[in-house]
């Protein structure tokens, strides 16, 4: 009986395999259309990575030089497996891989350097596939078969629910075109920001034709050096763009991985420009969330710990408010208490953050289940921006925090003026806003003066130690 059952199972399997091969070879079926195939690959990859870590590291003494060497080799093998998984499964997996690749300040270098290929060299559709879509959509042909389950569920902590909600929007190119025009209009006062123009007469839900804008990736320091682009200026510009989006407008581009943010010298002006691409994914913040988030960042920048606790509670953190503050700033709790705009990031702190990220993973998961859903894409955006700053070596600069503070002051003042009918009260709010902005500018001037004084002292010391030859 067992032998007959086994034989029947074998024939059944062969029949399914033959049918599958026939359908696949005739373009009716792609194995990647099945969620089970993708999940199976993910399970197999996870098992291989786990087994590699368990077996490779237990043979060597913890903390030794050999341990560090073996661990680095396992990191690299695991990163390559993960990259192969993302490329094979595509869709959501590539989105997750792009996110991981940008976390230079959090993940081992072997992972980020390996996964960076997904920013600009992710798997591409063939010209035949692209041509077919263009012919079908621009030729106004009627599509009979609907695309089903392009992006099956992928359990990656807090990204899952948001990915399921937002990916349909990302697949609608008309929505992307509208987002691009909206953000271009919203930030038109930033002459250093370039958003590609959309050609609507040649665009559909599946085809988007836009202006071609070139440049180097925002994390390509070699490109910037060759083109004499100041990394500090780029970091300041990015900070201004995203502070304006988050705090003032509440309309946030949520995929600023390096493949979507280009830098260049303007062909006409020669001035530094930032080119923002891929406008499929935006987060629209409610006014209540935006204002609480403004107040929280103001409290963090000016080290008002009572208000930090208050606004973390308002955003759902509860007793996990220190963890929320650390996750938002990518700083240790000690640095948050000392003042994030005062204490520079050190190598020791970076190591502490990496270690704590693994240690507090259960608490992080609980926190992410508590906060408003709007916070999740903000976390993703923050992670990607911190990763860019880490690569450029400009992370947690005082200048970026002061720009954020300016946007918070303006946003809160606008809200308060909108909600009062008293002319005297509006005048009072405007005066307070002007005074606060003046205080920020004065503080920035003092910081620059200190930096110049320090630079002059260093120069004088070098001249004294290394006198010019006679």
Q: Which residues are catalytic?
A: 255
Distance CA 290, CA 188 (A): 21
> From the centroid of its chain, how far is CA 169?
18
Distance CA 53, CA 240 (A): 42
Question: CB neighbours of 323 closer than 8 A, spacing ≥ 6?
Answer: 317, 360, 363, 364, 367
* Tokens at 48, concatenated: 């291989």
Distance CA 208, CA 196 (A): 11
Q: How many CB atoms lie within 10 A of CB 366?
A: 14
Distance CA 29, CA 36 (A): 14
Partner residues linked to 300 by β-bridges: none
Q: What is the CA radius of gyration of the chain?
A: 26
> From the centroid of its chain, how far is CA 67?
32
∠ CA(167), CA(172), CA(174), 5° rounding? Answer: 145
Q: Strands 272-276 and 193-194: what pairing?
A: parallel
Integer angstrom CA distances of residue 377 from 8, 88, 260, 328, 419:
50, 25, 16, 12, 28
Total residues belonging to the chain:
470
Q: Are 302 and 262 in contact (CB under 8 A)?
A: no
């Amino acid at each position: 009986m067992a032998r007959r059952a086994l034989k029947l199972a074998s024939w059944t399997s062969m029949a399914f395999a033959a049918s599958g091969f026939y359908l696949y070879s005739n373009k009716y079926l792609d194995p990647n259309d099945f969620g089970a195939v993708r999940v199976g690959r993910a399970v197999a990859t996870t098992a291989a990575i786990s087994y590699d870590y368990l077996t490779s590291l237990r043979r060597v003494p913890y903390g030794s030089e050999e341990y560090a060497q073996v661990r680095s080799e396992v990191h690299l093998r695991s990163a390559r497996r993960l990259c192969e998984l993302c490329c094979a499964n595509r869709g959501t997996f590539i989105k997750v891989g792009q996110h991981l690749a940008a976390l230079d300040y959090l993940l081992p270098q072997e992972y980020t350097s390996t996964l960076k290929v997904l920013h600009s060299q992710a798997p591409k559709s063939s010209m035949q596939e692209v041509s077919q879509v263009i012919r079908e959509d621009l030729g106004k042909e009627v599509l009979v078969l609907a695309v089903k389950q392009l992006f099956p569920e992928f359990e990656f902590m807090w990204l899952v629910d948001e990915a399921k909600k937002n990916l349909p929007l990302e697949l609608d190119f008309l929505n992307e075109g509208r987002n691009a025009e909206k953000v271009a209009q919203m930030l038109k006062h930033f002459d250093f920001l370039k958003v590609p123009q959309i050609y609507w007469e040649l665009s559909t839900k599946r085809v988007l034709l836009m202006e071609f804008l070139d440049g180097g990736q925002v994390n390509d320091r070699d490109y910037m050096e060759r083109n004499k682009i100041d990394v500090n200026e780029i970091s300041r510009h990015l900070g201004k763009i995203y502070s304006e989006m988050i705090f003032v407008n509440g309309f946030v581009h949520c995929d600023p991985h390096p493949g979507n943010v280009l830098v260049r010298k303007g062909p006409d002006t020669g001035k530094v420009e930032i080119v923002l691409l891929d406008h499929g994914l935006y987060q629209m913040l409610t006014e209540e969330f935006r204002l609480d988030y403004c107040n929280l960042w103001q409290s963090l920048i000016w080290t008002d710990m009572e208000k930090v606790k208050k606004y973390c509670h308002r955003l759902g953190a509860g007793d996990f408010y220190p963890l929320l503050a650390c996750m938002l700033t990518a700083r240790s709790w000690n640095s948050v208490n000392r003042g994030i705009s005062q204490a520079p990031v050190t190598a020791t702190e970076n190591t502490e953050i990496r270690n704590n990220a693994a240690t507090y993973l259960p608490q992080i998961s609980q926190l992410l289940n508590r906060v408003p859903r709007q916070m999740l894409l903000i976390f993703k955006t923050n992670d990607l921006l911190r990763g860019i700053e880490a690569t450029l070596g400009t992370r947690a600069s005082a200048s970026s925090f002061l720009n954020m503070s300016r946007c918070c002051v303006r946003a809160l003042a606008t809200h308060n003026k909108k909600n009062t009918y008293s002319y005297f009260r509006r005048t009072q709010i405007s005066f307070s806003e002007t005074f606060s902005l003046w205080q920020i500018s004065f503080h920035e001037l003092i910081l620059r003066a200190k930096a110049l004084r320090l630079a002059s002292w260093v120069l004088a010391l070098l001249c004294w130690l290394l006198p010019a030859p006679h």
